[in-house]
Structure 1
Amino acid sequence: MNYVVISSVGAVFMGFFVLFVRMKAAKKPTNVKKIILPPIFMSTGAFMYVVPQFRLTQWEILEAVVVGMLFSILLIKTSKFEIRDNDIYLKRSRAFIFILVGLLIVRLVMKSILSSTIDVGQLSGMFFLLAYSMIVPWRIAMYRSYMKLHKEMQGIKMI
């Protein structure tokens, strides 16, 4: 039970860190590197599956991926770009903050419920996969949206 509490506190701190980073990022122009690198850096966490206690069954993998992809829809809907001063910026969205906090609360509730039936190692593996399955579609959608605006901006500059 202590692992669940410790990891939940860690999740809350990570959630606030993401909010802080997102608000700060909206003040500076974005680029492809800023969109693509987070999932690449996060992918190193998959090394946890080398340790047997973190490995998942087929159904746990399917559940985590499906839930992560469903959660990503909310993030995709609140991540929009705009052109300002010949640069592309991520628009601030009040809804993003509420959605991120809501997802964090849902995650904590799910973790507290599932921790009584699923081993803490497997649960950690599931939540990592859920988070990764959420961030990858979100970042792909951000990349496509960014590139569309980038091409539009390049077209404007050429005229």
Structure 2
Amino acid sequence: MFFIASTCFAIVMAVIVFNFRMKETREPVTTKKIIIPPLAMSTGFLQFVIPAFHITWTEAGEAFLVGVMFSVFLIMTSKFEIKGDHVYLVRSKAFIFIIIGLFAIRLALKWYIGSTISIFETSSLFFIVAFGMILPWRLAMLVLFNKKKNEIAM
């Protein structure tokens, strides 16, 4: 039952992320809009205060590295363009396919790993995978955004 509920929740979250990303392409990008998502997400580390969510440092490191590997695909779809005096995120036709692919891989891994460890440990691992995806992606976006912003200033 938990896997069905968590899978439905993951689908809803994927739709929200996709819609958020499409909205991002209609408005100028700002530094604030790039850095707030990983900062807000970092509050999820509070789950580790509860002993049931504890995992080893090795598991946490491996989960983070998996997230970093997945982030490469998101970084590849993040391009910026200058329109007037503003910088905009360019829509990528590949983004939806990458999101669906990452979602499918994540779901398969969750089902496999979730059958061998507790729900809480699974939650911890996949939170770290997600954070490992968003942090490098947003840092790369910040670097690319600043390059474009500097082009406007010249």
Aligned to 2:93: 94
Q: Does 1:83 align with 2:82?
A: yes
Mapping of 1:15-94 within 5 angstroms? 15-94=14-93
Identity of aligned residues (%): 44
CA distance in 2, matches of 1:118, 1:59: 15
Whether the 8 Å contact between 1:64 and 1:133 is mirrored in structure 2 is yes
- Report the residue type matching 2:39 in the other structure: I
Normalised by the length of structure 1, the TM-score is: 0.94
- Report the residue type matching 1:21 in the other structure: F
Aligned to 2:142: 143
Give the C-alpha shift of residue 58 in structure 1: 2.2
Q: Give 5+ residue unaligned stretches, structure 1.
A: none
Give the C-alpha shift of residue 115 in structure 1: 1.1
- Report the residue type matching 1:79 in the other structure: S
What's the RMSD between the two structures over aligned residues? Answer: 0.8
Give the C-alpha shift of residue 154 in structure 1: 0.4
- Report the residue type matching 1:110 in the other structure: L
Name the CA shift for 1:43/1:79 in 2 (closer, same or farther; >3 Å).
same
Alignment: residue pair count = 154
CA distance in 2, matches of 1:129, 1:49: 11
Give the C-alpha shift of residue 96 in structure 1: 0.9
SS of alignment partner, residue 82 of structure 1:
strand
SS of alignment partner, residue 117 of structure 1:
coil
Aligned to 1:129: 128
Residues 94-125 of structure 1 deviation map (CA, whole Å, 9 limit, x = unaligned): 11111011101111111111111111100000
Deviating runs (4+, > 4 A) in structure 1? none
Q: Give 5+ residue unaligned stretches, structure 2.
A: none
Give the C-alpha shift of residue 87 in structure 1: 0.8
Aligned to 2:115: 116
SS of alignment partner, residue 94 of structure 1:
coil
Normalised by the length of structure 2, the TM-score is: 0.97
